[in-house]
């Protein structure tokens, strides 16, 4: 039993850290956000609500500059102020920004936030177990190798979540009568807007899939659903 103690402690540590992080994130979002009031965007989210058969889809503006959208662990949807400024400047259309909201709704609907708690705890335990085993055969670097291997797994799981949220967003955009063209054009703009080069790192190390591959999957899904 004693030999499993470090792994059990790692599981418990991951569980506690995840919940602390979720609590701290909720406090930050409460303090620095307000409900989205833009009339054009609210008309589009009303179409999402109708498609989903819910009273409303509530979206918040998170007062930070980086361009991003996020689904909080408590299920709330946020668009950053930086992203909203791109919209008001005409760099992003209302439909394109709505596709981001649809993507974040996918993360919530598919339970990705809740699953990340399990993934985080499991990855922490796996890292500990691998470090224990590899340190016996690779003294001094075993823990480092364990960390790299666990990061690869985490990136793979994250990419799978992104593909699932993309598919959910495509289905919702189609059902709401918006189609997938705004979703695809948003992805084409996203690298430039976030000033990130998707080719800067190997695809298997990235937490998000490559843009071209995401667009290809959207086209494949929409062809099957709309055909």
Q: Are strands 33-35 and 59-62 parallel, antiparallel or unpaired?
A: antiparallel
Those residues whose C-beta lies under 8 Å from the C-beta of residue 210, and which sit 6 or more positions away, are 198, 199, 203
Q: Is the pTM of this model over 0.95?
A: no
Decide which of 212 and 133 is more confident: 212
Question: Are residues 185 and 61 in contact, defined by beta-carbon separation less than 8 angstroms?
Answer: no
pLDDT at 161: 85
pLDDT, one tens digit per residue, over 3-24 is: 556 555 555 555 566 666 667 7
pLDDT of residue 116: 61
Q: Helix, strand or coil for residue 150?
A: helix
> What is the Cα–Cα distance from 9 to 20, expressed in whole angstroms?
16
The H or E element that residue 15 is part of is helix 5-31
For residue 206, give the nearest of 148, 156, 161 by alpha carbon: 156
φ, ψ of residue 77 in degrees (nearest 5)? -110, 135
Q: What is the mean pLDDT of residues 170-176?
A: 96
Task: Output Rg (C-alpha) for the chain, integer angstroms.
Answer: 20
pLDDT class of 61 with cuts at 50, 70, 90: very high
Q: Structural domain tally of the chain?
A: 1
- Please give the Cα distance from 107 to 14 (Å, whole number): 21
- To which H or E segment does residue 73 belong? none
Question: CA 30, 33, 35: angle at the middle one, nearest 5?
Answer: 110
Which two three-digit tokens encode residue 71?
Answer: 């689904």
Bridge partners, 6 (sequence order): none
Which residues form the domain of 6?
2-226
> Angle CA(185)–CA(187)–CA(190) in degrees, nearest 5?
115
Sheet holding 69-71, edge to edge: 33-35, 59-62, 77-80, 69-71
The residue assigned the tokens 């991003």 is: 68
What pLDDT, on a 0 to 100 scale, did the predictor assign at position 72? 85
Q: Indicate the range of 27-41, 120-134, 139-153, 195-209 predicted with least confidence.
A: 195-209
pLDDT 10s digits, 194-225: 654 444 444 434 556 788 899 999 999 888 87
């Amino acid at each position: 039993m004693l030999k499993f103690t470090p792994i059990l402690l790692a599981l418990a540590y991951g569980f506690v850290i995840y919940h602390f992080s979720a609590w701290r994130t909720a406090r930050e979002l409460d303090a620095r956000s307000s409900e989205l009031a833009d009339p054009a965007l609210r008309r589009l989210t009303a179409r999402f609500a109708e498609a989903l058969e819910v009273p409303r889809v509530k979206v918040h503006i998170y007062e930070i500059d980086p361009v991003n959208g996020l689904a909080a662990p408590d299920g709330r949807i946020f668009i950053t102020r930086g992203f909203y400024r791109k919209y008001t400047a005409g760099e992003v259309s209302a439909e394109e920004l709505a596709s981001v909201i649809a993507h974040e709704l996918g993360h919530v609907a598919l339970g990705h936030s809740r699953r990340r708690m399990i993934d985080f705890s499991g990855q922490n335990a796996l890292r500990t177990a691998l470090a224990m085993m590899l340190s016996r055969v690779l003294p001094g670097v075993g823990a480092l190798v364990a960390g790299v291997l666990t990061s690869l797994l985490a990136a793979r799981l994250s990419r799978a979540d992104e593909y699932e949220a993309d598919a959910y967003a495509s289905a919702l955009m189609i059902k709401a009568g918006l189609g997938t063209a705004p979703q695809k054009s948003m992805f084409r703009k996203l690298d430039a807007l976030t000033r990130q080069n998707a080719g800067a790192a190997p695809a298997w190390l990235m937490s998000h899939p490559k843009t071209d591959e995401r667009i290809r999957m959207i086209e494949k899904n929409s062809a099957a659903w709309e055909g």
